[in-house]
A = this chain, B = another copy of it.
Amino acid sequence: MNLQQLRYLQEIARRDLNISQAADALYTSQPGISKQIKLLEEELGIEIFVRNGKRIASITEPGRLVLDIAQRLLLEADNLKLVGQEFRSQDTGSLTIATTHTQARYALPPVVKQFIERYPGVKLNLHQGNPTQIAEQALNGEADIAIATEALDQYDELVTLPCYEWHHCLIVPQDHPLLNEDELTLAKLAEYPIITYDFAFSGRSKINQAFEAEGLTPNIVLSAIDADVIKTYVDLGLGIGIVAEMAFVPERDVRLRRLPLDHLLKSNVTRLALRRNEFLRGYTYHFIELFASHLTRDVVVNTLRKKKETLRE
């Protein structure tokens, strides 16, 4: 048994049990992988894959267990390399953040600015995507940190930490009748065409819930995946917009007005996700603390080693 075999195994699992694809991904030959997997199965004395003649059909039950363990093991192997890098060169390396438009555009810029000044030797990458993509990038190590408001909680292998709480707000053209209302209600909002986030983005679920709870059906005329699109169409007069409060910038959005919705919609919590048990570089802790000052190194370390909430077995 060796690490290489386990890497092969992991890659096969990632590539839908296709050995050829795994070979391509790892820049090696397909027969090589095939043989090593055979050897591994032989050594462990179990079949990892169910084979249909010469095709791999599925994973066996013990295979699933083996895969699980192998992944934890490989994570520790990565950690070893990271420890090396950390001590070899404290402040150089790379840091990849997977996040959504809202965070990348409105929440992260000041953090990034501070970070790159402090760590000029660290190559900072931002991957933008939807919450599911983000979570998966964190899961398979493509990203070191995932930041989003939705969907991060659904993976056993990820640890999540609350970063900050925010509310939605209403944005309307500067001459809109709603600006004269004494008290905003969902019912009044429902009278106008609404432009807001696409399903699965930036707390859209909270918006749906609120209207449903009052038996209202909002007239969503456009669902966008980012606030800039929403603001553009609100400006054009297509409807009223509901966006994250961070996304309204008075200096820039001069033709729009903001109205708070704190009392109508539940608040949202933006969270970040890390791979459980991963070793983090010193600058990664620093980045996290820059983003959410309560997430000190100690807090993060403690959470990283916490128990899983649910177990599959």
Q: Which residues of A contact B (CB under 8 A)?
A: 1-3, 43-46, 61-62, 65-66, 69-70, 72-73, 76-77, 79-81, 83-88, 277, 279, 301-302, 305-308, 311, 313
A93 to chain B, nearest CB (A): 12
Secondary structure of the A contact surface, majority rule: helix
| Inter-chain contacts of A2 with B (CB < 8 A) | 2-3
- Residue contacts A-B, CB under 8 angstroms, 22 given: A1-B77, A1-B80, A1-B81, A2-B3, A43-B84, A44-B84, A45-B85, A46-B83, A46-B87, A46-B88, A62-B83, A65-B83, A65-B279, A66-B80, A66-B84, A69-B76, A72-B76, A73-B76, A73-B80, A302-B307, A305-B308, A306-B307
* Docked complex Cα distance between A121 and B277 (Å): 37
Given contacts A73-B76, A77-B1, A84 and B279 within 8 Å (CB-CB): no
Give the CA-CA distance A84 to B1 in the complex, in Å: 12
Copies in the complex: 2
CA distance A278 to B84 in the complex (A): 26
Q: When chains A and B are docked, how far (Å) is the Cα of A168 from the Cα of B41?
A: 52
Collect the chain B residues with CB atoms within 8 Å of residue A77's CB.
1, 73
Residues of B near A311 (CB, < 8 A) are: 301-302, 305
Contact indicator B76/A45 (Cβ below 8 Å): no
Please tell me if the beta carbons of A79 and B69 are within 8 angstroms of each other in the complex. Answer: yes
Q: Which residues of B contact A46 (CB under 8 A)?
A: 83-84, 87-88
Residues of chain B within 8 A (CB-CB) of A308 are 305
Minimum CB distance partner of A44 in chain B: B84
CA A51 to CA B175, docked complex, whole Å: 76
A18 CB to nearest B CB, Å:
23
The answer for the CA separation of A72 and B83 in the assembled complex, in Å, is: 14
List 4 additional A-B contacts (Cβ < 8 Å) besides A2-B3, A62-B83, A62-B86: A46-B83, A66-B84, A76-B76, A307-B307
